[in-house]
Amino acid sequence: MNNNHSLEPRHDGAGNPISNHVLCSISQEEFRKLCPALEFVKLNQHRSLYRRARIMQAAYFINSGVASLILVGEDGRSVEVGVVGCEGLTGTALMAGLRRAPCSAVMQIEGSAFRMDGDAFEKATRSLTEFRDRVLRYSVIHTMQVAQTAACNRLHDARQRLARWLLMAHDRISSNVVKLTHEFLAIMLGTDRPSVSLAAKYLQQLGAIEYRRRALTIVNRKMLEGASCRCYFAVQRYNPAVGL
């Protein structure tokens, strides 16, 4: 199917510009049918979209910022298993009528989204063929990314994982500055705060980033790519932004 839809600037009924790749990739006809069900919402950092094992009320088409998908182990430790930016959405399980969240979704970098009620989302994926295909394609590709992230968390050290995460965040935001606390970096990397500090210090000494309290600035992306494990490049092969 042709991808020319993604080049067309779009707005919702209230005039809010749409940057989400899924919403921009469907035909104008299907978008018009979908638009009344979309609610523009601003999402502050640490905003919970849903919690694991709780009922998901809505799907969120991320328009800007980055959401993290997080799992909590039996020992109470949390780890990030995936990220979602303007290339995709959270709550894809709703299209299959599954309402309990398989993991938690939290905004790590503030932004905005188009919220769609769960019932409306499920109905739309049944009645709008192109929309369903785009959501399904994204869901499959994102599952591949989650699997690669799980392998990375198990096999690679904190310095490589931090570099990978910063590259993935940089791909999804329009800034070199990533505002995050030690605590949330530790959750994302599945490690402790001292390990985060050591990893950030290493990348700073390398000249890839500048690290200050609550913020990391990417100053040399090529250097950051060199410090990352190959998982980043493996994930890029499944980049939904390309596939759509």
* CATH code of the domain covering residue 219: 1.10.10.10
Residue range 2-12: average pLDDT? 59
Number of domains in the chain: 2
Can you give the pTM of this predicted structure? 0.88
Which CATH number belongs to the domain containing residue 130 in this structure? 2.60.120.10
Claim to verify: residue 137 and residue 71 sit in the same structural domain? yes
Using only C-alpha atoms, the chain has a radius of gyration, in whole angstroms, of: 18
Query: Helix-strand-coil percent breakdown of the chain, rounded to 5?
Result: 45, 25, 25
Question: What rounded mean pLDDT belongs to the chain?
Answer: 88
Q: The domain containing residue 145 runs over which residues?
A: 4-152
Claim to verify: residue 53 and residue 27 sit in the same structural domain? yes
* Confidence band of 6 (pLDDT split at 50, 70, 90): very low
Question: Which residue has tokens 């919220």?
Answer: 115
Residue (of 94, 85, 81) closest to 112 by Cα position: 85
How many CA atoms lie within 13 Å of 67's alpha carbon, on the beta-carbon side? 28
| Residue 88: partners with Cβ closer than 8 Å, 6 or more residues away | 20, 21, 22, 61, 62, 138, 142, 240
Whether 193 maps to a domain, the answer reads yes
Tens digits of per-residue pLDDT, 128-177? Answer: 999 999 999 999 988 888 888 888 878 888 999 999 999 999 999 889 99
Q: At what angle do helices 193-206 and 158-172 cross, to 10 degrees?
A: 70
pLDDT of residue 209: 95
Tens digits of per-residue pLDDT, 39-80? Answer: 999 999 999 999 998 999 999 999 999 999 998 877 777 888
Q: Any idea what the Cα angle at residue 104 is, between residues 172 and 99, rounded to 5°?
A: 110
Query: Is residue 1 scored above 70 in pLDDT?
Result: no
Claim to verify: residue 126 and residue 208 sit in the same structural domain? no
Whether 133 maps to a domain, the answer reads yes
* Confidence band of 17 (pLDDT split at 50, 70, 90): very high
